[in-house]
A and B are shown apart, each in its own frame.
Chain A
Amino acid sequence: MKRREFIYTTAWGGTIGLAAPDLFAGTGSEAEPVLVVIQLAGGNDGLNTVVPIQNDHYYAARPKLAIKPADTIRINDTTGLHQNLAGMMALYDAGRLAVVEGVGYPNPNRSHFRSTEIWHTGSDADQVERHGWIGRYFDTYCAAQPASVGLTIGKQNPQAFAAANPAGVTFSDPRQLNVKKARGNPDMMMDMMGIDDDEPVAGDSIGSLTGGGNAPAAGASNPLAFLEKTATEADLSARQIDAILKKVKPGRAFPGTRFGQELKVVSQLIRGGMPSKVYYLSHGGFDTHTNQAGAHAQLLKEVGDALLEFDRELENTGQSRRVVVMVYSEFGRRVKENASGGTDHGVAAPLFVMGGPVKGGFYGKRPGMAPDQLIKGDLAHTTDYRSVYATLLEKHMGVDAKPVLLKSFQPLEFI
């Protein structure tokens, strides 16, 4: 266990050689497609996000909450974006924002918990799947990748990452990845923790600092070897992330909101050649049962502003063509407003996809809002959410979606 180059010493006690000038250029991972998945947790009110400004049923159902056409950012004769979505509008104007209408699934479930589970596992409403759709993607197509193939900013890996061979690195703050080391000889401490830091050599690119190899199938082989491999991978990703965040500085002023700062970190990691293929973020607070108007407006502003900065940052640094962002929510909200100035749990809602590879515009069919077109007061979905997943998998990630989604779904045209 000999250390060969000391440039950065991370809190793990690990070191990383950063001498090579072309460290962040030309790494294999640069050309790899990246997917950023963002959940607006709580159930975003789709109708007040993408506003049907010509629909009398909308205005009749929401005497207090409906947004007047003049108060929206007008996209076309029938559609206005919430006025706080100037960021999204800029993306739309640049032809980089797709709106998929009426996304949902048959026999919808109005529980946050269960509907989130359905979106995460990619299951039918009456099926329980153990693993997540992204987890199945990792299992099927990323077996040789390091654990950081999936990266979550949050408290824990989302259910979408659950897999037979679980992958994924999670942090709400990158410092959490650092192990608080015991006192003693650093090499020995690393060795005790099962971390083999003999691998990286000075001049190696960060992108190639991958632990490699497979987690053994459950119940198989040697658990100690598996633990040592995981410890080594944890160390590697911590060092990679640490080194990238120190080296790659943001070129734009991201909003100071938590969400803005999270997207800033994601943009740094993408630019720094982190080998992550999927990033997962969640923005909460969308469960607007009471006094919705002000709170919802604030939330949308946070989302739109941060996403615009993110897109521009990637565009300015030449990364945009490999990154697609999907913004979804576990359900939309009831068409009719409730008595507390809010809206209750609903069903189908529009979903956003954005990024360099995206063909901007509207996709899918907007659900009708006449009373006889509603199902129990909710919009009937027109696009299965898994068609969106299928599009991302096949046209962006470049894989056959069927093993991931367990069935065939028709991809859409937004990529």
Chain B
Amino acid sequence: MKKLEPGKWNREHAAHLLVRSGFGTTPARIHAAASQPLEKTVAALFQTPENVEPPEWITDGAALKPDFRDLAGLSDDERRRLRRLYQREATQQSRQLTGWWIERMINSPCPLQEKMALFWHGHFATGIRKVKVPYMMYLQNRTFREHAFGSWQALITAVSQDPAMLVYLDNTRSKAGAPNENYARELMELFTLGEGHYTEDDIKAAARAFTGWQVHTSRYAFFDNPRTHDRGTKTFFGHTGPLDGHDIIRIILEQEQASRFLVSKLWNFFAGSDPDTETVDELARLFRDSHYELKPLLTAIFTSARFYDPDIRRTQIKSPAQWLVGSCIALGIDQPDANLCINAMRTLGQELFSPPNVKGWDGGYAWITTSSLTARYNLANQLINQRKRQQPREGQRMRLQGSYRVDTADVLPWDKRTSLEEARGHLEQVIFQTVLSSDDRRKFDEFFSTQKPVGDWTDSDVRNILHVMMSTPQYQLT
């Protein structure tokens, strides 16, 4: 792909790279990124933290399935009470998991890793309503993070052996003699090749090959069960033999279509629109040549001239995650109220760990409805004006309520308030990470011209200005 010329690397482009490869950014980070060469900035995007602290409730015992034989001696009432207890705990855990992930998106030193984890969550969509056990969703989330931009083949293998996925697409119930085709079908249709690039016979063969890949009976872990695996001969894409899951994945990746499929989807995710044929051709070739390693592919996308074209910049509708996390970053909220976040993500149509179906989120224009846009305007107001809450009550084990209050002197420091022009310019960078188009600029100029002299702005005035800036169509784009 044609690379962006070094002379064209500037502040605007740096801002574009940071917001698209992450969820939002700050003027200071944009400045730092623009001050070094593009290659260096892109390379730095892949620096992952050494240790990711899991949610509090992840303990050694969490991997063990509850032993339902314990229930045998209990009365109906006791059993019901126990079940309710499990259920309440699972609800708490799943809420905390969501809050934990959103905090990671806001605070991780490697936003691209979280952004890719979100991409994979939408790509290998798996929902807790069917999986039920939050621990399995956590495991999957960890897998997405660990394989965020490593080898695609390794990731597909890990997902094919992921307990949540094995439950979600029923492979754990698939046995020799009675194969379940659900996973085999979606693996090809949604995860690797796309509709029309395989036959029904390929699905049948793949389903047989994946038999025996199941969730362990006593632990939430993968178990390769030789007793339920179909060792017979199968024919898949012209290859005949006693194929197993690994063979299927290998053969799928021999298809050129596999590279084209993922490259298109990734381009769309980061650039915000479908790639042209030439872009697909070039990126797909590069992806195959690098043996399906994702880092060279992403590097090629982020250093390409096309990625910085004017029709790509500030034309993507923010996903709810991008909107929420980006808003927190702009407003300096590092520990948001988890209840507010969970509620916001649901209202805005991107409930984490609960995508609408195996196809994931539609994205793009589909994020915006009359209701969700109204909700975005109102939630912006809520985020800006959230009051400090009390610390968690005694005995309330899990922290769900944040204790933040937006500090307007942080968002707009005093030294940026020497003139209206300066204050406005700073807020524009904080909120939009860019210099707005001349049309938009006129609109905001008109608004700012009605404000008091900058020196007189109170805390409440700044909050109101932030509220106005974030309740705009312009704010929905990145």
Q: Do A and B assemble together?
A: yes
A residues engaging B (CB < 8 A)?
A: 111-114, 117, 128, 130, 147-148, 155-157, 159, 162, 165-171, 176-180, 182-185, 188-189, 191-194, 215-216, 218-219, 223-224, 226-228, 230-231, 233-234, 237-238, 290, 339-340
Q: Provide the bound-state CA to CA distance between A170 and B374, in Å.
A: 10
**Interface pair B356/A159, CB less than 8 Å apart:** yes
Task: Judge if B358 is at the interface, Cβ distance under 8 Å.
Answer: yes
Picked from B130, B347, B373, B447, the residue with its CB within 8 Å of the CB of A231 is B373
**20 chain-A/chain-B pairs, Cβ below 8 angstroms:** A128-B186, A147-B370, A157-B371, A162-B366, A166-B366, A166-B368, A168-B369, A176-B375, A176-B378, A182-B471, A185-B450, A192-B447, A219-B365, A223-B477, A228-B473, A230-B369, A230-B373, A234-B371, A237-B370, A290-B80
**Interface pair A155/B471, CB less than 8 Å apart:** no
Task: Point out the residues of chain B lying under 8 angstroms from A165, CB to CB.
Answer: 365
**Interface pair B371/A179, CB less than 8 Å apart:** no
Q: Provide the bound-state CA to CA distance between A117 and B473, in Å.
A: 32
Q: Chain B CB within 10 Å — which of A188, A194, A228 has the most? A: A194
Task: Point out the residues of chain B lying under 8 angstroms from A191, CB to CB.
Answer: 443
Task: Point out the residues of chain B lying under 8 angstroms from A178, CB to CB.
Answer: 374
Give, as a whole number of angstroms, the nearest-CB distance from B133 to chain A.
15
Chain B interface category by residue count: 35 or more
Give, as a whole number of angstroms, the nearest-CB distance from A149 to chain B.
11
**Interface pair A166/B471, CB less than 8 Å apart:** no
Q: Provide the bound-state CA to CA distance between A194 and B377, in Å.
A: 11
Given A216-B365, A227-B368, 10 other A-B contacts at CB below 8 A? Answer: A156-B347, A159-B356, A166-B366, A168-B371, A169-B371, A179-B378, A185-B450, A188-B446, A193-B473, A218-B364
Known: A219-B274, A237-B370. A224 touches B473 (CB 8 A): yes
Q: Provide the bound-state CA to CA distance between A223 and B362, in Å.
A: 16
Give, as a whole number of angstroms, the nearest-CB distance from B257 to chain A.
20
Picked from B274, B315, B347, the residue with its CB within 8 Å of the CB of A223 is B315
**Interface pair B357/A130, CB less than 8 Å apart:** yes
Q: Provide the bound-state CA to CA distance between A234 and B375, in Å.
A: 10
Task: Point out the residues of chain A lying under 8 angstroms from B450, CB to CB.
Answer: 184-185, 188
**Interface pair B471/A193, CB less than 8 Å apart:** yes
Q: Provide the bound-state CA to CA distance between A117 and B357, in Å.
A: 8
Task: Judge if B403 is at the interface, Cβ distance under 8 Å.
Answer: no
Q: Provide the bound-state CA to CA distance between A223 and B365, in Å.
A: 8
**Interface pair A167/B468, CB less than 8 Å apart:** no
**Interface pair A219/B364, CB less than 8 Å apart:** yes
Task: Judge if B245 is at the interface, Cβ distance under 8 Å.
Answer: no
Interface string of B345-359 (1 = CB under 8 A from A): 011010000001111
Which residues of chain B from 461 to 477 have any CB-CB distance to chain A below 8 Å in the complex? Answer: 464, 467-468, 471-474, 476-477
Give, as a whole number of angstroms, the nearest-CB distance from A276 to chain B.
12
Q: Provide the bound-state CA to CA distance between A159 and B365, in Å.
A: 16
Report, nearest first, the 10 A-B pairs whose CB atoms are least far apart.
A227-B473, A234-B370, A194-B473, A170-B371, A182-B467, A113-B129, A147-B370, A182-B468, A218-B364, A179-B377
Q: Provide the bound-state CA to CA distance between A176 and B374, in Å.
A: 8
Which residues of chain B from 318 to 366 have any CB-CB distance to chain A below 8 Å in the complex? Answer: 346-347, 349, 356-359, 362, 364-366
Task: Point out the residues of chain B lying under 8 angstroms from A182, CB to CB.
Answer: 381, 464, 467-468, 471
Task: Judge if B151 is at the interface, Cβ distance under 8 Å.
Answer: no
Task: Point out the residues of chain B lying under 8 angstroms from A339, CB to CB.
Answer: 76
Give, as a whole number of angstroms, the nearest-CB distance from B419 to chain A.
21
Task: Point out the residues of chain A lying under 8 angstroms from B476, CB to CB.
Answer: 227
**Interface pair A227/B346, CB less than 8 Å apart:** no
Q: Provide the bound-state CA to CA distance between A231 and B365, in Å.
A: 13
Task: Judge if B157 is at the interface, Cβ distance under 8 Å.
Answer: no
Q: Chain A CB within 10 Å — which of B127, B346, B356, B477 has the most? A: B356
Task: Judge if B430 is at the interface, Cβ distance under 8 Å.
Answer: no
Picked from A171, A192, A223, the residue with its CB within 8 Å of the CB of B317 is A223
Known: A179-B471, A224-B473. A188 touches B359 (CB 8 A): no
Smallest CB-CB separation from B366: which chain A residue?
Answer: A166
Smallest CB-CB separation from B477: which chain A residue?
Answer: A223
Give, as a whole number of angstroms, the nearest-CB distance from A236 to chain B.
9
Task: Point out the residues of chain B lying under 8 angstroms from A111, CB to CB.
Answer: 130
**Interface pair A218/B366, CB less than 8 Å apart:** yes
**Interface pair A340/B76, CB less than 8 Å apart:** yes
Q: Provide the bound-state CA to CA distance between A253 and B358, in Å.
A: 44
**Interface pair B359/A128, CB less than 8 Å apart:** yes
Task: Judge if B273 is at the interface, Cβ distance under 8 Å.
Answer: yes
Q: Provide the bound-state CA to CA distance between A219 and B364, in Å.
A: 7
Known: A166-B366, A227-B473, A290-B80. A128 touches B357 (CB 8 A): yes
**Interface pair A156/B366, CB less than 8 Å apart:** no
Q: Provide the bound-state CA to CA distance between A233 and B371, in Å.
A: 10
Q: Provide the bound-state CA to CA distance between A230 and B477, in Å.
A: 14
Task: Point out the residues of chain A lying under 8 angstroms from B186, CB to CB.
Answer: 128
Smallest CB-CB separation from A12: which chain B residue?
Answer: B374
Task: Point out the residues of chain B lying under 8 angstroms from A179, CB to CB.
Answer: 374, 377-378, 471
Q: Provide the bound-state CA to CA distance between A221 and B370, in Å.
A: 19
**Interface pair A180/B274, CB less than 8 Å apart:** no
Smallest CB-CB separation from B364: which chain A residue?
Answer: A218
Smallest CB-CB separation from A191: which chain B residue?
Answer: B443
Q: Provide the bound-state CA to CA distance between A113 and B472, in Å.
A: 35
Smallest CB-CB separation from B182: which chain A residue?
Answer: A126
Picked from A148, A162, A193, A215, the residue with its CB within 8 Å of the CB of B472 is A193
Q: Chain B CB within 10 Å — which of A162, A165, A168, A192 has the most? A: A192
Q: Chain B CB within 10 Å — which of A159, A178, A188, A233 has the most? A: A188
Task: Point out the residues of chain B lying under 8 angstroms from A176, CB to CB.
Answer: 371, 374-375, 378
Give, as a whole number of angstroms, the nearest-CB distance from B478 to chain A.
10
Give, as a whole number of angstroms, the nearest-CB distance from A206 to chain B.
16
Known: A130-B359, A194-B473, A231-B473. A113 touches B468 (CB 8 A): no
Smallest CB-CB separation from A159: which chain B residue?
Answer: B356
Picked from A155, A226, A237, the residue with its CB within 8 Å of the CB of B346 is A155
Picked from A112, A171, A180, A223, the residue with its CB within 8 Å of the CB of B371 is A171
Interface string of B178-220 (1 = CB under 8 A from A): 0000000010000000000000000000000000000000000
**Interface pair B472/A194, CB less than 8 Å apart:** yes
Task: Point out the residues of chain B lying under 8 angstroms from A234, CB to CB.
Answer: 370-371, 373-374
Known: A114-B130, A128-B357, A182-B468. A238 touches B365 (CB 8 A): no
Give, as a whole number of angstroms, the nearest-CB distance from B116 to chain A.
22
Picked from A128, A169, A224, the residue with its CB within 8 Å of the CB of B358 is A128
Known: A194-B473, A219-B274. A226 touches B368 (CB 8 A): yes
Give, as a whole number of angstroms, the nearest-CB distance from A374 to chain B.
21
Q: Provide the bound-state CA to CA distance between A277 and B346, in Å.
A: 25
Known: A128-B359, A167-B369, A180-B381. A156 touches B349 (CB 8 A): yes
**Interface pair B346/A156, CB less than 8 Å apart:** yes
Picked from A130, A169, A224, A231, the residue with its CB within 8 Å of the CB of B477 is A224
Interface string of B36-74 (1 = CB under 8 A from A): 000000000000000000000000000000000000000
Give, as a whole number of angstroms, the nearest-CB distance from B219 to chain A.
24
Q: Provide the bound-state CA to CA distance between A238 and B80, in Å.
A: 44
Task: Point out the residues of chain B lying under 8 angstroms from A233, CB to CB.
Answer: 370
Q: Provide the bound-state CA to CA distance between A157 and B467, in Å.
A: 26
Q: Provide the bound-state CA to CA distance between A17 and B430, in Å.
A: 40
**Interface pair B130/A113, CB less than 8 Å apart:** yes
**Interface pair A230/B349, CB less than 8 Å apart:** no
Q: Chain B CB within 10 Å — which of A162, A165, A339 has the most? A: A162
Smallest CB-CB separation from A161: which chain B residue?
Answer: B369
Q: Provide the bound-state CA to CA distance between A257 and B80, in Å.
A: 28
Q: Chain A CB within 10 Å — which of B315, B317, B374, B477 has the most? A: B374
Q: Provide the bound-state CA to CA distance between A234 and B15, in Å.
A: 31
Task: Point out the residues of chain B lying under 8 angstroms from A168, CB to CB.
Answer: 369-371
